[in-house]
Amino acid sequence: MELQYFKTIFEYIFMLYAITILIAYFILAIVSSRELFHNIRISKNTNYDAILSSPFTPQISIIAPAFNESLNIVENIKALLGLYYPSFEIVIVNDGSKDNTLQKTIEAFDLEKVPFVIDYKIQCNKVLGVYKSRKNAYSNLTVIDKINGGKADALNSGINIANSDYFIAIDVDSIIDRHALNKLIKPFFEETDKKVIAVGGVIQIANGCKIEDGQLVEVDVPDKLLPKFQVIEYTRTFLFERMGWSRLDGLLLISGALGLFDKQVVIECGGYNNNTVGEDMELVVRMRKYMTDNNQKYKVIYIPDPLCWTESPSSLKILGRQRNRWTRGLIDTIFLHKNLFFNPKYRTMGMLSHPFWVFFAWLAPIIEIMGLMYFLVLIIFGELNWPFFIVMLSFIYFFAIFFSIYAILFDHLAYHRYKKRKMLLKLMIAAWIEPFIYHPFVVYWGIRGNFDYFIRKKKAWGNMTRTGFTKPN
Amino acid sequence: MTLRRITINKFKIVGVSLCILIFWTSFNVYGNQKYIIQIAASKTPLNINELAQKKSITGSIKEIKGNDWYRYYVGNFNSYNEASLYAKELVNKSELKNVFIRKIENVPEYNEKDKYNNLTEQSTDSITKIKINNSLQNEAMIGHKQESISTDTIVKDSTYYNNNQTKKISSENNSVSNLDDFEKNLSNYIPNFIKDIFNSYSKEKYNFRVILLFLLIVFLFILNVINVLLILIYSNQTQNSTDRYVLVHKNIYESALMSYVLGETNWEQTLKKLKKYNLPQNREILSSILLNFHENLRGVADQMVPEIFVKLGLHHDAIKEANSKHYYKKVAGIKKLTFLYPEGAMQIIPQLLNDPEDIVSAEAQTAFVRLNPENPFDFFNALTRPFTRWTQITAFYIFQLHRRNIPSFANYLDSQNTNVRNFSLRMIIFFQQLENIPEVLNMINCEVESTRFLAIKAINDLRLYNGKSLLKDKFQDETQKNKIEIIKAFSNIGDKEDFDFLKEIILSGNVSLTLEVCRSLYYMGSEGKEKLNQLNEEMNGELELFIAHISDPRN
């Protein structure tokens, strides 16, 4: 008798969870689409000429941690030097690389060690040396050599050395759009009564695209299936989720590959957290908490322009490590800031965003696995209502496809990046098979991340092997 | 073996044990469950032979007694599906109007022989009234929908309890029976070669409603995919055809208008070449061409552009756009009016300076600066909306580009609007406006940090020696950023009187401030350098690195 009750309660929980998650994503998608088209209209009327030639344009520091990046470091720095912005400095942080990243950089840009006073406003590992170029052409390049301490530590040391009021944290192997800095700084300049503390942009997958001189010249869909799935996933996430949260003032995550921050606020918050692998999300949450705790009005903004292109892992092993790390980073952030959970003091962040991440990001793979196990038990004991199951499965599958397809559509309508119909068709086909092929892996990696976090107490980043950007076919 | 390894092994053991426990419990719970088909119930025992004959039932009938009810059932199945199949067959082949599938555990049974011998005759009317005891029903039916299969209208007032809720089977089964009729009729129209499949799936395995629902979902999905594909194809084609259209017409219009501007043709000839210029899309093209002309042409040619704009009646479109309720149309309208119909613009723009939509008010503010060469910032006095930094940069850009008259920005320092004050300070610094120093110095006491910062910067950049004592007084209470700016100011306005003040800062131990003090002393002149070296000696060379840092021009 009790088991029957148990069973009914279980089923109701699954049903309620499924309905809630679908409604939540649906609402986010609608809000995101409105925000997307609003931004497109605004950007059509924006003229960046003034900011490119103004003496009042603020300097921006680009901080890029580098660990074992000897393959592409020189090309990546050259690409950064070519950005269209009147006043910026590049700070490359060699985080104890075991290869010849530093040596290659020194040779390529004629660097020499300079005497440098570092104010350790944020705690970080010791800096072994600061290098600047002898050539005027690279006068805005600074390279820091330090003891290995992880990405967060490297970013903190970069912040300590950066001269500007704003800094961008990027991955050194990412391709930044030439106009990215103009677009990212604009929200800071448009702030009215609320202080803008962080701005993020869309990250896209560069696999399969044509790259020349460190710049993306032609967009294409990756040939391999795994990066294709990630293209869809990124499109869906950035266009249908992040935009919505930005609009609702509940954005908790600005990607570590590209984000512009108010340096002073970051310093006052204590910089990036060294003890988590989800330092990007954790920083944004902490910044938001800090502003709320100090009764300061603020905004975290997200702009829908694709400003950064990054290499995605093309092997399951590397991708698994990445997703494992993301899961652990997410859990870290959720628990470090557990006092946000349904806390009205933090308004949207506390009442919506944090619970959303808890229930629909962290718990989703766990509940999915529990559902799968329950499903297997029902089959074994002949209790499964097959008609109901098939209908529900169809509904959920088609709903998921709905999101992916409309994300591709909106992306196309907004940016026309994929010029050929064939490219769109490839993406749509990948979207149809994604739930069967890719999604189980995502769930597995989520579970594995939970296991590694709670049981194995794993804190490390893991090895992310780079292959460099592939040339297009 | 490490503690972690032991812990992981423990969890593995626990996990496996848990799985075994779940399976064993489930087996025990579910393994002993049986499914029976109840065919009748009565308060008094029935004659089973009669029941069997009356209802044309083959197979053994068994009896359960519980809670004053005698229930008669056939079959004994391990799964619900098996019971369901048998029940359907039973209803089809017998005279039974109604049967119930029930799940039971450890049911006491009478011996078949005993039943046949001990039954007393009862009225068959009692069979038609089926009341099922609440508790037994709950015990047997939790978690399972009791399926009632009938090809005829069933007994009236027949109810059952399911988790303490009363449901009338009659209405439900009526709709089921109606669907069954529909299904029956439908199957008459289905071709024979798929009728068997249809029957086997719809009748044997799936409820007809489920199939309908599934087909509906599939249909919606296909519709959705077609919709998206059509939008993609259509939008691509539309975009391409729009681009081609614009290109073709732009070339024609541009060439015609350029000829007119250069005096090669007159207006009538030009109008003839501007085919279909009254179409909305073409008017947009014309507006963009004229905006382009305005940006690129100079002199007489540039002066003709607004005339053409008005002659073509495009100013009406622009005014309409500027008065639209959509913010993006307002912005487009303001732009067109500003560049191509200034007289009309000046009537509309003042009303939009404080528009609730930030992008509209920003555009209106920029337009005002552009359209008022004599007093470009007159609107500051009436401004209630923010004058954002983005607008400031744009306004400054226009200012510089068109070499406008520079007003005295000190007049705006008493504005309540922080943005206006800050912009004025920036302009005072940039244009080196030294005529209103007291007002500038006053800004040091402003409660807004950014205003104070700019006031300090003004003292530094304008070399306002009067402000030195003010800076020293304010230093302790200032933010880090402003402190650094104060120290920077001393590189330009400081002298040996200020050495003690600067030395105090070094001794405070703040690295950033110490670095700036060293820089200020270094660039103060020979006296400053000398003082710096002296301080370094006093501090046993602690400032060595600081001096090396600041003397490298790359830092």
Mean pLDDT for A410-423 is 82
- Digit-coded pLDDT (tens) for A316-365: 999 999 999 999 999 999 999 999 999 999 999 999 999 999 999 999 99
- Digit-coded pLDDT (tens) for A236-249: 998 889 999 999 99
- Mapped onto helix, strand or coil, the DSSP state of residue B74 is strand
Residue A159 tokens read as: 């912040």
Nearest chain A CA: its distance from B142 CA (Å): 7
CB of B332 within 8 Å of a chain A CB? The answer is: yes
Q: Which of A51, A55, A402 minimises the CB distance to B430?
A: A55
Handedness of CA A47, A52, A55, A57 (dihedral sign): positive
Give the distance from CA B478 to its chain's centroid: 41
Mean pLDDT for A43-51 is 81
Mean pLDDT for B27-55 is 75
Q: Which residue has the tokens 């519980």?
A: B66
Contact A455 B8 (CB under 8 A): yes
pTM above 0.80, yes or no: no
Task: Give how far Cα B316 sits from Cα of A203, B306, B313, B342, Å.
Answer: 43, 13, 6, 13
Give yes or no for a contact between B122 and B70, defined as CB atoms under 8 angstroms apart. no
Give pLDDT, residue A462: 57
Which one, of B142, B137, B130, lies nearest residue B161 by Cα?
A: B137
Which of B13, B242, B397 would best serve as a mutation to test chain A binding (most A beta carbons within 10 A)? B397
Rounded CA separation A166/A126 (Å): 23
Ranges of beta strands (E only) in A250-323 are 258-262, 298-310
User: Quick one: which H or E segment has residue A285?
Assistant: helix A279-293
Give pLDDT, residue B135: 38
**B119 or A247, higher pLDDT:** A247
Contact B389 A190 (CB under 8 A): yes
Give contacts of B229 with chain A, Cβ < 8 Å. Answer: 428
A171-180, A208-217, B21-30, B32-41 — which one is most confidently predicted on average? A171-180
Reported confidence tier of residue B20, pLDDT bands at 50, 70, 90: low
- Mapped onto helix, strand or coil, the DSSP state of residue A210 is strand
Among A27-31, B26-30, B366-370, the range scoring the smallest mean pLDDT is B26-30
Q: If you measure CA to CA, which chain A residue comes closest to B5?
A: A456
Share of chain B above pLDDT 70, in %: 75
Give pLDDT, residue B206: 52
Residue A2 tokens read as: 């009790």
Within chain A, what is the greatest distance between any pair of CA atoms?
A: 82
**Confidence check: pLDDT of B198 > 80:** no
Q: Which of B29, B78, B328 minimises the CB distance to A45?
A: B328
Contact B78 A391 (CB under 8 A): no
Q: If you measure CA to CA, which chain A residue comes closest to B212?
A: A391
Contact B548 A115 (CB under 8 A): yes
Which of B389, B416, B449 would best serve as a mutation to test chain A binding (most A beta carbons within 10 A)? B389
Contact A44 B328 (CB under 8 A): yes
Give me the amino acid identity at B515.
L
Contact A8 B142 (CB under 8 A): yes
Contact B81 A382 (CB under 8 A): yes
Nearest chain B CA: its distance from A85 CA (Å): 14
Residue A256 tokens read as: 């570590």
**B27 or B150, higher pLDDT:** B27
Beta-carbon count within 10 A of A22 CB: 16
Q: If you measure CA to CA, which chain A residue comes closest to B204?
A: A387
Q: Which residue has the tokens 């027949």?
A: B158
Q: If you measure CA to CA, which chain A residue comes closest to B555?
A: A116
Contact A264 B481 (CB under 8 A): yes
**A231 or B217, higher pLDDT:** A231
Exposed, middle or buried: residue A166 (CB in 10 Å: 0-12, 13-18, 19+)? Answer: buried
**Confidence check: pLDDT of A427 > 80:** yes
Which one, of A81, A101, A103, A99, lies nearest residue A91 by Cα?
A: A81
Rounded CA separation A174/A311 (Å): 7
- Mapped onto helix, strand or coil, the DSSP state of residue A391 is helix
Give contacts of A427 with chain B, Cβ < 8 Å. Answer: none
**B315 or B147, higher pLDDT:** B315
Reported confidence tier of residue B23, pLDDT bands at 50, 70, 90: low
Counting other chains too, the contacts that B535-543 makes at CB distance below 8 Å and 24 or more residues apart are: B535/B503, B535/B506, B539/B506, B543/B506, B543/B514, B543/B518
Nearest chain A CA: its distance from B376 CA (Å): 17
- Digit-coded pLDDT (tens) for B464-502: 998 999 999 999 999 999 999 999 999 999 988 999 999
User: Quick one: which H or E segment has residue A88?
Assistant: strand A88-95
**Confidence check: pLDDT of B150 > 70:** no
Task: Give how far Cα B441 sits from Cα of A331, A336, B25, B368, B498, Å.
Answer: 52, 46, 84, 29, 19
Q: Which of A387, A416, A455 minimises the CB distance to B239?
A: A416
Mean pLDDT for B233-252 is 85
CB of B511 within 8 Å of a chain A CB? The answer is: yes
Q: If you measure CA to CA, which chain B residue comes closest to A416?
A: B236
Q: If you measure CA to CA, which chain B residue comes closest to A44?
A: B328
CB of B184 within 8 Å of a chain A CB? The answer is: no
Nearest chain A CA: its distance from B214 CA (Å): 6
Give residue limits of the domains in chain B: 33-179
Give contacts of B217 with chain A, Cβ < 8 Å. Answer: 391, 394-395, 398
Share of chain A above pLDDT 70, in %: 96
- Digit-coded pLDDT (tens) for A179-218: 999 999 999 998 888 899 999 999 999 888 888 877 888 8
**Confidence check: pLDDT of A409 > 80:** yes
Which one, of B385, B387, B435, B365, lies nearest residue B407 by Cα?
A: B435
**Confidence check: pLDDT of A39 > 60:** yes
Which of A1, A22, A26, A45 would best serve as a mutation to test chain B binding (most B beta carbons within 10 A)? A45
Beta-carbon count within 10 A of A329 CB: 23
Reported confidence tier of residue B9, pLDDT bands at 50, 70, 90: low
Beta-carbon count within 10 A of A258 CB: 24
Q: If you measure CA to CA, which chain B residue comes closest to A37?
A: B328
Within chain B, what is the greatest distance between any pair of CA atoms?
A: 129
Q: Phi first, then psi: what are they for A258, rounded to 5°?
A: -165, 115
Rounded CA separation B403/B390 (Å): 20
ipTM (interface pTM): 0.86
- Mapped onto helix, strand or coil, the DSSP state of residue B39 is strand
Beta-carbon count within 10 A of A196 CB: 22
Give contacts of A129 with chain B, Cβ < 8 Å. Answer: none
**Confidence check: pLDDT of B106 > 60:** no
Which one, of A389, A399, A391, A406, lies nearest residue A435 by Cα?
A: A399
Which one, of A59, A299, A85, A295, lies nearest residue A187 by Cα?
A: A299
Rounded CA separation B51/B61 (Å): 9
Task: Give how far Cα B381 sits from Cα of B219, B370, B420, Å.
Answer: 62, 17, 9
Nearest chain A CA: its distance from B336 CA (Å): 12
Q: Phi first, then psi: what are they for B227, rounded to 5°?
A: -60, -50
**Confidence check: pLDDT of B172 > 50:** no
**B217 or A228, higher pLDDT:** A228
Which of B79, B223, B230, B236 would best serve as a mutation to test chain A binding (most A beta carbons within 10 A)? B236
Contact A54 B362 (CB under 8 A): no
Angle at A208 between CA A202 and CA A212, to 5 degrees: 85
**A456 or B141, higher pLDDT:** A456
Rounded CA separation B185/B190 (Å): 9
Ranges of beta strands (E only) in A30-76 are 60-66
Q: Which of A382, A421, A456 minimises the CB distance to B236?
A: A421
Q: Which residue has the tokens 């085919």?
A: B275
Give pLDDT, residue B115: 41
Give yes or no for a contact between A184 and A307, defined as CB atoms under 8 angstroms apart. yes
Task: Give how far Cα A80 sits from Cα of A103, A173, B168, B542, Å.
Answer: 19, 10, 74, 36
Residue ranges of alpha helices (H) inside B45-105 are 48-54, 80-93
Give contacts of A54 with chain B, Cβ < 8 Å. Answer: 393, 396-397
- Digit-coded pLDDT (tens) for B357-403: 988 999 999 999 999 888 889 999 888 889 999 999 999 998 888 88
Q: Which of A3, A188, A405 minimises the CB distance to B225?
A: A405
Contact B358 A192 (CB under 8 A): yes
- Mapped onto helix, strand or coil, the DSSP state of residue B51 is helix
Contact A4 B142 (CB under 8 A): yes
Nearest chain A CA: its distance from B512 CA (Å): 6
Contact A54 B30 (CB under 8 A): no
Q: Which of A116, A264, A416 minimises the CB distance to B549?
A: A116
Q: If you measure CA to CA, which chain A residue comes closest to B221?
A: A398
Give pLDDT, residue A101: 94
